[in-house]
Structure 1
Amino acid sequence: MTTTDHPARVAGLASQAAVIARDKQAWVALFAEDGIVEDPIGPSGFDPEGKGHRGRGAVAAFWDKAIAKTDSIEFLFGDSFACGKEIAFTGTIRSKLGGHQIDADGVFTYKVDDAGKIVALRAFWEVDRAMATAKPIS
């Protein structure tokens, strides 16, 4: 296996491509039936209890709450590290919404099952830090 065909890297890049393309159906289909999204990890406006969004229905609902409300999302990742059935991407997710740009710096991980389906997407980023980057798009 090369670094480019690592199953978690393939799934992570496919996830990012589906988000960029605004393709909810393709994104949800990348997840295992009981896959979970924790973005960000812990309690947030997207997940007040901090338990994550488990199962394809909950993953689709997360899309509606978080991704669909943006005008666009870019993945500005500098590096990634694949180990076992997981990968960690480091860098920035840039969201544009309502005439503003917000950058969330962090570590973004994907874990896959034997079929290459995402069983866990976990995002380590700080809401307050990201909100402090908000600026009008010129």
Structure 2
Amino acid sequence: MLDGSSDIDARQCSVVGMSTTQPLPDTDVLDVRQCCSLGTGPLTQDESVRYAGLFKVLAEPVRLRILSQLAAVGCGPVSVGELTAMMGLSQPTVSHHLKMMTEAGLLERYRDGRSVIHQVRPDVFAQLRTVLQIG
């Protein structure tokens, strides 16, 4: 028990050092067919390579924070300077991670005068949501 007042088993809520109050589904009542259907069906070799590359780029804490900052402002255009201020990181660090995300196709980049602007590519994230849609 987590706090003695719940039927949630602590091992159900622990994932690599993270915790949540949401229990895992009860496997006695879970219809496995619902859990195991992907939104897209089986992936081709090329699709699996492409999506694995995108997820690999996102599998970095600073990049996930950048993505969450962009999402917090509605996925609209944000300058490198604005992101640097929001995140409390150095400009070279933010620029490096933005470059990785842009080269992977997750973000769009353009110049507005002296500012470099980045924004989320909604089409790519729609594809990722579809691939991750399980059940």
Greater C-alpha Rg: 2
Query: Could you state the TM-score of these two structures normalised by the residue count of structure 1?
Result: 0.25
Higher strand share: 1
Higher helix share: 2
